[in-house]
Amino acid sequence: MTVEDIQNGQVFLIDKPLDWTSFDVVNKIRWNLRKTYQLKKIKVGHAGTLDPKATGLLIVCCGKMTKQIDQIQAQHKTYTGTIKLDATTPTYDLESEEDCQFSTAHLTEEKIHETTKQFIGKIDQVPPLHSAIKKDGKRLYEIARAGETIEIEPRKIEILSFKITRIELPFVDFEVVCSKGTYIRSLAFDFGRSLQVGGYLTALCRTKIGDYALKDADNSVLNLIADTEN
């Protein structure tokens, strides 16, 4: 890539590492591009956040391609992952410890598959309290960490497909195709509640955003400085 290529705009498909925030990835790429190409400043942004405990496709745009972020972000997304159905955590994932446990003795494979149908289509979803959504000027996770309680309004989302691909209780693997704004953590929690057990994510991977696929990801831009210095 040349300086002109960077300024004219690039789209980077990144396989986000576990425990990195989406902001970490953007910052790393911005720093690498500035140092490598001797740029005073360069616009860099991502097209849809992934939680720290999630991996998979993160689309990062730079230069003039940042104007396409909203368009990319609006496309349907595909996720695979694992839900643990005998407990809950405050964050609906592995970022926090289990706070309640449940028996799964009453669950059958038929019931698990049948319950997915309740979530297909346009539904109301309440985002997790531990999320970056703003309420009265504060991030929800800031409110949660302060121990405050707050009512969170549901959002309209769409689940196009929700398939269970493996059952080995208390764990179930799934694949979901959904609209922008869907919280898979909330889906895991709500799914467990509908089954009268707990539910939280133990693994999550985003495999597609529109026609962009994880299999085409290239993380070399995260190591750009090291590569050019060798």
SS3 readout for the chain: CCHHHHHHCEEEEEEECCCCCHHHHHHHHHHHHHHHHCCCCCCEEECCCCCCCCEEEEEEEEHHHHHHHHHHHCCCEEEEEEEECCEECCCCCCCCCCCEECCCCCCCHHHHHHHHHHHCEEEEECCCCCCCCEECCEEHHHHHHCCCCCCCCCEEEEEEEEEEEEEECCEEEEEEEECCCCCHHHHHHHHHHHCCCCCEEEEEEEEEECCEEHHHCCHHHHHHHHHHHC
Active-site entry in 5, 15, 24, 51: 51
Per the annotation, the verdict on 51 as an active-site residue is: yes
Task: Catalogue the active-site residues.
Answer: 51
